[in-house]
Structure 1
């Protein structure tokens, strides 16, 4: 306090401010912005016992300000009113940035820090004769987690049901601070930024990177068309300073009010995610999942965890990001522009670039091509020929793949589950198709304003190229089969002969006893196995490699256990590569 007084005497224009939560994500940015202005003595208040500067801050404006007495640190627990009073006494403005790193499952701690903390801050400001209190709120306080918000403004009321407990408590804290306006000389207002990001972000960007590393960032929740507003962290700090100046000079239009703050540049949420991930070398999301299905899965996992008595995931955070990724949330900042004079000082694209640069330590190996995951086909795609079959079975277009799946399921039911013979089912199907085509052909060209398109003759034609390719594929498979049969007929490789006989016998058993079950399982397998393999390719390959190594280890152990004569007999049948380019040959016993 004495240092503040001495500096104030040397420069009468210098005023003292307090940043509660000054070591958090938003707090650090605001402290630096205040110090840059040069007219503030900044008291940094936070819960840590002492100020520990990061290596990047060793030669920063903050370290220089501390050495010159323009900044000081105060250990404050917002649950302790006397500590708050000691930190804010004698200051002209308090910027309150509450703790954002709280665990939602500890309700009592959240309530004491957010709601009771707000009450303590209000009372300490009154007792300390502080004139202005500016609260860093969030756009989440008017979001119920399910309804879209398009160009929302300050006339929106708090929802009857909040998305999560943290938003509920933050809304209570905001209401307390706004209702405390103009009581005992204290003027208050609140800033509501939407989707804050930037260097030092501890939530959004690290969460996206963790998803990318785990392979879950491939998924788009919802249809991917939802619009969102984002706010670069420096713009949030600028908005707080604008609010302080406006609260000092234009009291009636600012005091007791809340203001939405964004970059004034809404964009698709998943475009923003793609920019961040691609900038750090990760694959952009491209597989769409229904939001309702994802939420149901999370709820099921949550119930299982609660049933077995442990909590492994922050379910409220997961649900928050599901809602964030599937709902539109855009806000009107006209009130902030008009009454506090806010406008972004860093554009959205520039903010994204600065954020990517600050998280270079989380970037994937940059030898990795940023678009390689999109340009380079996956193993599953290569196995399926990288054509139309791959496009359908890998669910590149969900609507198209689902249509094919339903059509194949109906055909499976028609031919195998209706109790008719295959020939009868085929005849009925052809008859049904004939009636449908004939009926479609006699329809009038216009029905109640709906134009009926005629089927052109080209719909029933097949190009010569498709026929040639099909015949070439048949010939290729036939020649391959004949080559294999000739190698078996030579009688030199009895192990291959036994494999062929066993395979044919096993196939005969399946087709004679379980043909319907086999085809049904094959249908489900085709539409799920390749898709799952593409999503978890590294994990599945690693498991397969582990199993192969285990089998090899077991074989080596068996070889050591067996008598020398039996071991040498087994080792004599090792496959060797035919250098002439033919199939592998097997050495006979020595």
Structure 2
């Protein structure tokens, strides 16, 4: 009887388990002896130890089979921010999460850990050692973040000890690592087209970048400690590498690690911001005539030129969080994982 109970408590579902973070989460859970279900819109990898369920996140009847007999759920499904699809952001991040909560309650799931984002408090101005007590952004940097705010509020307010249902949110920042389809490939593509010669600002602005395995570690710690009367219940927690680094130094280490030149020239932050703002206005004026998607936007200028790093003290205190992988090791392992992107000497 005790053995069956332990096995039941080790059964979990990763929603969005075919994505970048999701795959790493699944692999770590399997290594730790969990029985893992993956729910996603497509099967992104092969693993004989994992049971896959394919379907639409917004259809409860698709989701329920993946939650049967499951104690804990990790919800890390989300469109990529760069897709710039407002309708999809709202559908998946907000409406889909409401369906997830309803399905979890119906299936008798006890624990839900959401992958949120530290950007829910970021408005494009400096944040230095920001805590979870900062208010949600009144002017989010983009619509993706606006829907992540809605999502996080929905999940945290769903915490219900009286129903034996407990929720928490993990707020990572700047996730990177092997198999990342975004940061490194996009950075190298920009370098190939000569777009990485300039840095915005004086290059001193510190930012958090977080290795994917550390993000996974934070999620699993949270799930294992999420229970009645836990300080995690209904709360959000920053999970980073806890090693803020100058934004342009981090990008330069990735670039030079793959044999590309680091940015050499500086553009004053104010100039870059107003140029991006002007470009956005031009795009807005031309939008009735032609579809344009500029990559040089005020939001991206703010991300590249301001301080935005966050305190992990709450996670350290209540979860015993400590990043297993240092930033130096994380950068080295990430660079080594992209031999196909390395420029010939």
Bucket of the pairwise TM-score, normalised by the shorter protein = over 0.9
- Is 1:23 the counterpart of 2:2? The answer is no
The CA deviation string for residues 526-557 of structure 1, in whole angstroms up to 9 with x for no partner, is xxxxxxxxxxxxxxxxxxxxxxxxxxxxxxxx
Q: Tell me which residue corresponds to 1:211.
A: 190
**Deviation at residue 100 of structure 1 after TM alignment:** 3.4
Would you say the 8 A contact 1:187–1:256 is kept in 2? yes
Confirm whether residue 112 of structure 1 aligns to residue 112 of structure 2: no
Aligned residue runs from structure 1 range 233-272, under 5 A: 233-248=212-227, 251-272=229-250
Verify the 8 A CA contact 1:198 1:232 in the aligned structure 2.
yes
Distance 1:335 1:52 in 2: 34
The answer for the alignment partner of 1:313 in structure 2 is: 293
What is aligned with 1:585? none
In the alignment, the residues of structure 2 paired with residue 105 and residue 195 of structure 1 have an alpha-carbon distance, to the nearest angstrom, of 18
Deviations 1:202-227 (A, max 9, x none): 22222211221111111111111101
2:199 matches 1:220: yes
- C-alpha change, 1:12 and 1:136, in structure 2 (3 Å) is closer
C-alpha distance in 1 between matches for 2:82 and 2:214 = 27
1:230/1:80 CA distance change after superposition, 3 Å: same
CA contact (8 A) 1:16 1:41 kept: yes
Question: Which residue, 309, 312, 316 being the options, matches 1:333?
Answer: 312
TM-score by length of 2: 0.93
Say yes or no: does 1:82 pair with 2:61: yes
Compute the RMSD of aligned alpha carbons.
2.0
1:121 to 75, 94, 100: 100
Q: Which of residues 10, 19, 36 is equivalent to 1:42?
A: 36
**8 Å contact 2:98–2:154 — kept in the other structure?**
yes
Moved more, 75-84 or 220-229: 75-84
Query: TM-score, normalised on structure 1?
Result: 0.55
- Contact 1:137-1:170 within 8 A present in 2 as well: yes
Deviation at 1:14, TM superposition (A): 6.1
Mapping of 1:103-502 within 5 angstroms? 105-145=84-124, 147-182=125-160, 184-248=163-227, 251-306=229-284, 307=286, 309-315=289-295, 318-365=297-344, 367=345
Structure 2 unaligned blocks of 5 or more:
none
Unaligned runs of 5+ residues in structure 1 are: 1-7, 54-61, 368-590
* CA separation of 1:11 and 1:228: change in aligned 2, threshold 3 A: closer
Residues 145-195 of structure 1, C-alpha deviation per residue, up to 9 Å, x if partnerless? Answer: 1x1111111111102111111111101100100000016321000000111
Cα deviation for residue 298 of structure 1 reads 2.9
- Higher-strand-fraction structure: 2
- Aligned residue pairs, count: 340
Inter-CA distance 244–14: structure 2 relative to 1 (3 Å threshold): closer
> In structure 2, what is the Cα distance between the partners aligned to 1:96 and 1:310?
37
Alpha-carbon shift at residue 102 of structure 1 (Å): 5.1
Greater relative contact order structure (CA < 8 Å, 6+ sep): 2
Q: CA deviation at 1:110?
A: 1.5
Displacement over 4 Å in runs of 4+: 8-11, 102-105
Check conservation: 1:104, 1:110, Cα contact below 8 A: no
What's the secondary structure of 1:217's corresponding residue?
A: coil
CA contact (8 A) 1:103 1:110 kept: no
Contact 1:45-1:75 within 8 A present in 2 as well: yes
